[in-house]
């Protein structure tokens, strides 16, 4: 099973709750960079990850533990293409792919479960990946509104060799807002609602005008390779260049494959920065957990 990466066309970080978590609004779209997960019967439980450095505390194993299959006779293989700590949701997508296999019966009989609760327990992005569509994500990641059919747009992913801690990004943003409080942002008319409507209408220009990521200035200031990558995308003529999630992956959104490939040809980034050109991922449409 393929586990696709995502980009955030918006990421609005809202109020901090008493439990320390922040509420958010974000328009997320799956893109055609994917990890590959296979599960086969075996004599005993075994998990392999390529690269092996991502084996420890892997979300796929945690998902199996969560649904009671942590010791099942399964041979699980995960081949990673999505970099860790990049804001592309690779680990969450892997966990959602494992849950989807279980929901579809590929892992054998499992008693009735609250699959959405399982997804929430594994991570704030897992519910998004579980529905298999572009979506507006709200709350702490638990409220997911599917967008439906996605436009035929393309993405240039530029991934500098940095690992950004989401927890650190939130702490830095919180410290910044203690000195510079963010204005309240009503849901109606918010950037995320405008982008959601623009994606559904296929209005590329409106998406570019409304897109925003609250983490971008914070992360770009803390990680020079991120700032350099964003500058390189813009210098190459990107229509829209942004940070994805809490980074450090950056992306340019383009309306056509030709535009995306031409941009990639013009792009000049550091040798350690990995660049790929991919479409928005094909999705089966919304699927109930």
Contacts of 68 (CB under 8 A, 6+ apart): 110
The number of domains in the chain is 2
pLDDT at 19 over 70: no
Q: What is the pLDDT of residue 176?
A: 81
DSSP assignments along 61-116, one per residue: HHHHHHTT-TTSSEEEEEE--SPTTSSS-HHHHHHHHHHHHHHTTTT-------HH
Whether 133 and 6 map to the same domain: the answer is: yes
Q: How many CA atoms lie within 13 A of 263 on its CB side?
A: 29
Is 287 part of any domain?
no
Which of 66-75, 93-102, 174-183, 213-222 shows the lowest mean pLDDT across its residues?
174-183
pTM over 0.85: yes
Whether 219 and 85 map to the same domain: the answer is: no
Sign of CA dihedral 215, 10, 241, 183: negative
Residue 122's CATH number:
3.30.230.10
Domain boundary among 146, 167, 195: 146
Q: What is the pLDDT of residue 132?
A: 85
Domain boundary among 86, 118, 146: 146
pLDDT at 223 over 90: yes
Is 286 part of any domain?
no
User: Active-site positions?
Assistant: 6, 125
Q: What is the mean pLDDT of the chain?
A: 93
Domain boundary among 109, 124, 146: 146
pLDDT band at residue 193 using 50, 70 and 90 as cut-offs: very high
Q: How many CA atoms lie within 13 A of 144 on its CB side?
A: 25
Which candidate, 161, 269, 273, 166, places its Cα nearest to that of 215?
166
pLDDT at 22 over 80: no
Q: Which domain holds residue 28?
A: 2-146
Average pLDDT over residues 63-82: 96
């Amino acid at each position: 099973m393929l586990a696709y990466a995502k980009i955030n066309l918006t990421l609005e970080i809202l109020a901090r709750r008493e439990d320390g978590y922040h509420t958010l609004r974000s328009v997320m779209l799956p893109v055609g960079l994917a990890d590959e997960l296979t599960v086969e019967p075996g004599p005993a439980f075994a998990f392999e990850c390529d690269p092996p450095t991502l084996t420890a505390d892997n979300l796929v194993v945690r998902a199996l533990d969560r649904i009671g299959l942590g010791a099942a006779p399964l041979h699980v293989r995960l081949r990673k293409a999505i970099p860790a700590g990049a804001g592309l949701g690779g680990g969450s997508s892997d966990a959602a792919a494992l849950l989807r296999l279980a929901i579809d019966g590929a892992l054998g009989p499992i008693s009735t479960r609250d699959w959405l609760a399982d997804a929430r327990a594994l991570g704030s992005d897992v519910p998004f990946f579980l529905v298999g569509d572009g979506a507006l994500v709200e709350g702490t990641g638990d409220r997911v509104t599917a967008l439906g059919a996605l436009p035929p747009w393309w993405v240039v992913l530029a991934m500098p060799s940095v690992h950004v801690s989401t927890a650190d990004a939130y702490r830095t943003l919180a410290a910044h807002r203690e000195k510079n409080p963010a204005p309240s942002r009503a849901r109606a008319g918010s950037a995320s609602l405008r982008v959601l409507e623009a994606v559904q209408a296929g209005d590329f220009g409106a998406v570019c005008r409304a897109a925003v990521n609250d983490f971008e200035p914070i992360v770009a200031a803390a990680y020079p390779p991120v700032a350099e990558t964003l500058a390189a995308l813009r210098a190459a003529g990107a229509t829209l260049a942004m940070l994805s999630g809490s980074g450090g992956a950056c992306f340019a959104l383009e309306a056509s494959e030709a535009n995306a490939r031409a941009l990639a040809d013009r792009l000049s980034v550091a040798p350690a920065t990995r660049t790929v050109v991919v479409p928005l991922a094909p999705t089966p449409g919304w699927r109930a957990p």
